[in-house]
Amino acid sequence: MSAILEVRNLIKEYPGVQAVAGVSFSVVAGTCFGLLGPNGAGKTTTVEMMEGICRPTAGQVLYRGEGQGAQFRAEAGIQFQSTALQDFLTVRETLVLFHSLYPKQADLETLIDLCQLRDLLERDNRKLSGGQRQRLLLAIALVNDPSIVFLDEPTTGLDPQARRSFWKLVQDIKAQGKTILLTTHYMEEAYVLCDEIAIMDRGRIIAQGSPAALLAAHFEDVILTLPKADFQPSAQFDAPLLDAGELWEVSTRDIPAALRGLESAGASLRNLRIRERTLEDLFLELTGRELRA
């Protein structure tokens, strides 16, 4: 499969700070590529250079093998991390306004249905909930029928139901053959939506691959969790325990043996849970810090 977007040794420096330190990767057409990292990791700066909003200090971004010229501007759609909508306009008026700005246009009625805006068309922008506003902003990013769509932390601040509804929209967009570049703090979101991810920290990519492949490459164990109220550590249980707030976590490759050890040490297993390793675990493993730090 061919790359629609290539980032080659991208560097961005500000006075006294190197925000991006030689990042390279490619995005395959028709896939969802995720950039993950804590605040200050350099992912938003990287995306802004990819969008053509700010110039790199060094390196280049190629779209379909060429620089970010007229074709890129015509075929890219962007949902920014924060966007101000015009007051006193309805959702319909807002869509018509942005739709009129592009020579190539998506079918507006199809877009309204795709982003579930039909029941909101006569509502003032100021009266939209967080999830409704994000659906409108996504529709605005799609009005020019783009080939590649940039989504910069699009579900930040949404409740779980609204977030999952937005995931469905992203999956529907991808099913149309569009390429998506996503930045997010939510690891479950990245795992569900992304075909490939790159984890950034301190301006560099520290891991890249499909979510499943990265987890398989770094972990062979699972995590047992149980409330601290159900277990008081003693010398009888010699496996490492990780303090996770109100929980104890036990890493093990042998679940039956770990359960026997906990029972022998007096643990109650009635509230025990078993979970697979996550992308959050991976980031902690690689950096020692939480991804949302």
Average pLDDT of span 22-43? 92
For the stretch 186-213, pLDDT in tens is 888 999 999 999 999 999 999 999 999 9
Mean pLDDT of the chain: 90
Is residue 27's pLDDT more than 70? yes
List the one residue out of 240, 263, 264, 244 whose CA is nearest residue 252. Answer: 240
For the stretch 210-256, pLDDT in tens is 999 999 898 988 999 999 999 988 767 777 788 888 999 998 988 99
Superfamily of domain 3-216: P-loop containing nucleotide triphosphate hydrolases (3.40.50.300)
pLDDT value of residue 293: 54
Of 175-179, 249-253, 283-287, give the lowest mean pLDDT range. 283-287
Is residue 113's pLDDT more than 80? yes
For the stretch 52-95, pLDDT in tens is 999 999 999 999 999 989 999 999 999 987 788 888 899 999 99
pLDDT value of residue 182: 95
Confidence of residue 131 (pLDDT cuts 50, 70, 90): confident
Domain boundaries, the chain: 3-216, 220-276
pLDDT value of residue 245: 87
Average pLDDT of span 107-124? 93
Is residue 291's pLDDT more than 70? no
pLDDT value of residue 84: 82
